[in-house]
Each structure stands twice: as structure tokens, then as C-alpha cells.
Amino acid sequence: MRLIMVGFGTIGQNLARILESKKKQLLREFGFHPRIVAVVDTAGAMINPEGLDLNRALAVKQTKGSVAKDPELGRLGMDAQEVIEGVEAETVLELTPTRIVDGEPGLSHIKTALRRRRHVITTNKAPLAIAMPSLMEMASYNKALLKFSGTVGGGTPILDFVRKCLNGNRIESVRGILNGTTNYILTRMAESDTPMDAALKEAQVLGYAEADPSYDIDGMDTACKLVILANSTMGREVSLKDVEIKGIREVTREDIEAARKKGSRIKLIGTVDGGVSVRPEAVPLGHPLCIGGTLNAVSFRTELTGELTVVGKGAGGVETASAVLRDIVDVRRALAQ
Ligand code: HSE
């Protein structure tokens, strides 16, 4: 299975390490060997049609700042579009950062790949939040798969839980914590009185925050995930403009203290019921959504099984890379069938 990796930041590099360390396991358990034939970062590409040595790609990235600086396989200035158009591969991994203004460059990468009938696996929320129905249609028209488990819940299989475990059931509403960075910040503010700015810096150092952390703080990241969730699991046709959004920027120490006195914690909660909204809410201690750190938790109210809650790490390079790995295995299985 040949793959092109577009974006070689936290997620891409962690995926490279995972793929290197799991070569034998993937062959033994799933009977295949994923070969990354190209890696693209902002300065250019590194290409080997036989499959790249990912340890070498990681070393070049770390020592020289870009994979394109590999003396033999590097192509300085070659961009993602050229690579997607020109390098033979079945699947494109689109792992560039979320840019909500226009979804670019991820949106164009995904469209080009689908038009070329390549399967796409993405962790980039913006293209989906902006253009999910048309991308799904484009994928189906070109008989290509479009997978995006890592866009919601990081490594926690929130979308897969619905897709694979609730067949025949119906989701009536969703309520949850979908952003690890704000959960981390609110937890630090409540438990150790850390100011919001300092807690955000910690979350950035730990690799949880978005490249533009205002997406986390102002609720946009949660809103994108709600849009993806609502479209892909609830049959809703909503986009970002339908989401009522209030982030945590105005949450004060006093608010946190007042919630504590009432036996609650403030959490940034995303809800899909009659409408779609994001806002800070006080959640009582002991409630399934009252979880700390970078955890995500999503409660589904279902038609046949009442309320079901999925909890797990929602951010982090390794965790999100694990979602890409799940999607790679899914694509492989679909191709084998
Ligand atoms: N910045 C996001 C978060 C990363 O904190 O949840 C995962 O989507």
C-alpha cells in the first residue's frame, strides 16, 4: 500500500515513528506493509517510489528542518499539489494544520487527491467543517474513500464508535467535551489556580493546542468537531455558520470558584440537539462529562440504549497518529474486499 504524507508536523512525525515500530505487527495482523513513498512539508518533498526509510526522513527533518533537504531524495520547492498529482500512490494522508478561514491548503489537497481517485485520510478539521457534503460527494463520484477518524476525539474512536457500534440505533442528541486544550486549561485553572495564559502555554508545549490556539480558546475547534459529528453520524446537514459559539476566553477565576462552591467544574461543552452550540457550562462533579486533563468525553443519547459516554485522550500527536493508523487499516481492508 503506497501512501503520500502531506504535512510532517507533530502528527506526521508520530505516525512515521509508529509505522516504523509496527512494521511486523501490521504484516502479521493485517497482512500488509504501508509504504510512504513521499513526505511533503512546507519547504518541499522527499520522495522514493520504493518506500522511504522513515527514520531517515525523521532525522533529516530534525537536523535540517525539512525533509526536502535530504541530499539524495529531497526536492526543495516541490509542493503538495505536484506530489499528489505526480507521485504514484493509492492513498494521501492529509495532515496539515487546521486553518478555519478557508480550509486551505488542506481543502485543495483533498480535492486534488479525490479527483485523481486517490483515497484520502485526513486529520484536518477545516476542510470537512467547511465543505463536508461536497467532499463526500466528490469521494463517492470518484470511487475513493475519505476517512477522518482523527478529526474528532484525537485517538479516541468517537466517530468509529457510532459507525461501528451503533448500527441500527439512532442518536437523538450529543453533548460533550471535544477539545483537549481547553479542558486542560480549565482543569489547571480549577486545580492549581494557574492563569489561563500560563495554562495555554503548557498545553502548547505539550503539543495539544492548534497551530493557532485561538481556535481552541474561542470554541472554533469544538464547533468544527460538532459539525463533523453531526454530518457524519446524525444525518444533519450543518456547517460552521449554524453553530452558536462561545469559547472560554471570558471564563474568570471567580467563575471557576463559584462553580467549585456549587460542587461543579466549568467545561467547554459542545451540544447537538435541536440546534448546535458551544459554550462553557458548569458540570456537576461525578457527572460522566466531569473529567479532567486533556480528556475528551462525549455522551450520546440514543433511541435504543439510553445514554452512552465515550471517554479518552482527545489531543496529542501519538494519539491522533493512532487514529490515522486505524484509518490506514480500514482503507486496506476496504481495498482487500
Ligand atoms: N487542539 C485540539 C484539542 C487538538 O486540543 O483538542 C485535537 O483536535
Q: 187 with 292: CB under 8 angstroms?
A: yes
In order of 42, 77, 117, the CA distances from 82 in angstroms are 13, 10, 15
3 state SS of 271? strand
pLDDT (0 to 100) of residue 233: 92
pLDDT band, residue 207 (cuts 50/70/90):
confident
Which one of 156, 215, 221, 225 would you pick to mutate in the ligand 1 pocket, going by the greatest count of ligand atoms within 8 A of its CB?
221
22 is catalytic: no
pLDDT digits (tens, 9 = 90+) for 97-140: 999 999 999 999 999 999 999 999 999 999 999 999 899 999 99
Cα–chain-centroid distance for residue 133? 18
Atom from ligand 1 closest to the CA of residue 314: 6
pLDDT band, residue 264 (cuts 50/70/90):
very high
Q: What is the mean pLDDT of residues 300-321?
A: 94
Using a cut of 0.75, tell me whether the model's pTM lies above it.
yes
Q: How many CB atoms lie within 10 A of CB 189?
A: 23
Which one of 128, 210, 322, 324 would you pick to mutate in the ligand 1 pocket, going by the greatest count of ligand atoms within 8 A of its CB?
210
Q: The cell 503539543 sits on which residue?
A: 207
3 state SS of 283? strand
pLDDT digits (tens, 9 = 90+) for 131-163: 998 999 999 999 999 999 999 998 999 999 998
Phi then psi dihedrals of residue 237, to 5 deg:
-110, 80
**Closest among 259, 195, 275 to 227, alpha carbons compared:** 275
CA pair distance 321, 19, nearest whole angstrom: 10
The catalytic position among 225, 241, 261, 262 is 225
Atom from ligand 1 closest to the CA of residue 203: 5
Q: What is the DSSP letter of 97?
A: P
Map out the domains of the chain with their CATH numbers.
2-155+317-336 (3.40.50.720), 161-313 (3.30.360.10)
337 has a pLDDT exceeding 90: no
Q: 311 with 295: CB under 8 angstroms?
A: yes
Amino acid identity, residue 104?
A: E
314 has a pLDDT exceeding 90: no
CA pair distance 337, 334, nearest whole angstrom: 5
Cα-Cα-Cα-Cα dihedral sign, residues 222, 16, 74, 122? negative
pLDDT digits (tens, 9 = 90+) for 3-58: 999 999 999 999 999 999 999 999 999 999 999 999 999 999 999 999 999 999 99
End-to-end CA distance of the chain: 14
